[in-house]
Structure 1
């Protein structure tokens, strides 16, 4: 049985992601670890609440978490485990991943906002820092099945075997087809056939199709393909860049994660 971590802060976005996970995983050989991180707000800290009051807040959150886990196990027949954490968020999440050998993290994605554009949010921070595939669920998306996956990748940079293994496993688990989508910015420099064939050969036991388009804007091309292909999931790779390019790249990742009308599966190297 494989483990999927579903992160919750008890918000509407987190509840939507949990409902998506429950419907997607029901009847499959998975267990859910429901992860909740508690860090008292600055207002609580400034109020200098006595230790027993903070302990009470912690107890209440643990009770809510346990009730949610009990409901998942009883009403949906999916094994579920609570994981309550404090301290440093990334450290706590990384420890949870290692403890359960988690294969995927599922997170809710809040609606796009100016603050998010400038500062990012928890989901995009995790995408940049955690070495585990992350499925971000937009707040307006509900589970309706997964039959087609759009895998947007930069074939010119190369696609790591580990990424292809994750794409293949995800597609097999849901019986989905895969559209491998590449945006070529240079009309006079076609994509090397060998690189295309290598990917198709690796995914030979999956129903996969290669799509190569010429466009100036990668993001616009992907958004257009999402609409025309009626894909259920978008898969992307958050490549590592230099400092200035990373600022640009993070904004693109944020846009695809928050502005898209389908979930984004981010596979880190």
Structure 2
């Protein structure tokens, strides 16, 4: 059974991510956890003037969170009356990052699915602040769904990598499980000015190929000084349905996620984006 965490702020983007998740896993047995972490909503409440009414505001926000989660759950059941699905709701007075970490570890979560942006929906940035924080700090694979993205079966997947790190078998199996029902083609895309691989890179490439024996995996090299340009060009040229990258120390993805401001990010994508986490969780 796959364990999936779906954080929600009850925005249209969160609902769109839910729809994608329900379609993606329709062939699998899945346990879904719907999370609303409402600590920020308490402190941002306009009626919170001083500590005298803090408890009243807290109770009001908590009640609203629980009510909206019930509506979110009802929508999920209406969208996917799937006997393979089990649903849970979690309303937590906590930050999203801290609560997501707790749930990931307690429930052995395989994948987090969320929208690229939430309520604020600032179209000038690639990822909203909550999504960016999850991508940076929660040690679990994250699948982000762009605003208004209409579900397509992930028939064509590009996994871009420099083959410099040892990959996690569990996360590669997760990718395999996503691809298998759709007989997806997975392109391993290596972008470099120098196409020849080192011994370490060859070994890591072999590990990927051996861990995905049931999948149609193809090795592709692209010569380009700009990784972001090469990825975007490849997505457009080959009509890719899902982009996969690994977030690890000193990787291209870590470099762009940890820029000083979100809006300076160089990678802008309009297809689902699966981020593997290679930092601490096996």
Give the TM bin, normalised by the shorter chain: 0.7 to 0.9
2:176 match:
168
Other-structure match for 1:66: 70
Do 1:4 and 1:32's aligned partners in 2 also have CA atoms closer than 8 Å? yes
Q: Is the alpha carbon distance of 1:165 and 1:254 closer, same or farther for their aligned partners in structure 2, counting shifts above 3 Å?
A: farther
**What does 1:172-251 align with in structure 2 at a 5 Å threshold?**
172-186=180-194, 190-192=196-198, 194-195=202-203, 196-241=205-250, 248=256, 250-251=258-259
When normalised by structure 2's length, the TM-score is: 0.81
Does the 8 A contact of 2:20 with 2:151 survive in 1?
Answer: yes
CA distance in 1, matches of 2:61, 2:220: 52
Q: 1:39-91 deviations in whole A, cap 9, x for unaligned?
A: 21434374234523431221122011012213323551232110111123322
Label 1:120 to 1:73 Cα distance change in 2 as closer, same or farther (>3 A): closer
User: Aligned equivalents of 1:103 and 1:7: distance in 2?
Assistant: 14
How far apart, in 2, do the equivalents of 1:223 and 1:203 lie? 25
Aligned length: 260
Report Cα offsets for 1:138-176 as digits up to 9, x if no partner.
Answer: 113121211121101112x13424343343333225432
The reply on whether 1:42 has 2:73 as its aligned counterpart is no
What secondary structure sits across from 1:146 in the alignment? coil
Match of 1:129 in 2: 137
What secondary structure does 1:97 align onto?
helix
State how 1:13-92 maps to structure 2 within 5 Å: 13-39=13-39, 40-44=42-46, 46-48=48-50, 49-77=53-81, 78-92=85-99
* Aligned partner of residue 135 in structure 1, secondary structure: strand
Contact 1:146 1:176 in 2 (8 A): yes
Q: Does 1:146 align with 2:150?
A: no
1:120, CA displacement in angstroms?
6.3
Distance 1:254 1:130, change over 3 A: farther
3-state SS in 2 of match to 1:136: strand
In 2 relative to 1, CA 59–248 (structure 1 residues): closer, same or farther, beyond 3 Å? closer
Q: 1:195-250: CA deviations, max 9, x gaps?
A: 444533433321100000110100100000001111111000112139xx955453
Residue 267 of structure 1 and its aligned partner are, at CA, apart by: 0.4
**Residue 248 to residue 94, structure 1, CA distance change in 2 (3 Å):** closer
Aligned counterparts of 1:218 and 1:254: Cα–Cα separation in 2? 13
- Separation (CA, whole Å) in 2 of partners of 1:12 and 1:29: 26
**Structure whose residues are more often helix by fraction:** 1
Runs of 5+ consecutive residues of structure 1 not aligned to the other structure: none
- Decide whether aligned partners of structure 1 residues 85 and 38 sit closer, same or farther in structure 2, where only a CA change above 3 A counts: same
Structure 1 residues 46 and 227: alpha-carbon distance in aligned structure 2, compared to 1, 3 A threshold: same
Alignment RMSD (CA, Å): 2.8
The secondary structure found in structure 2 opposite 1:131 is: coil
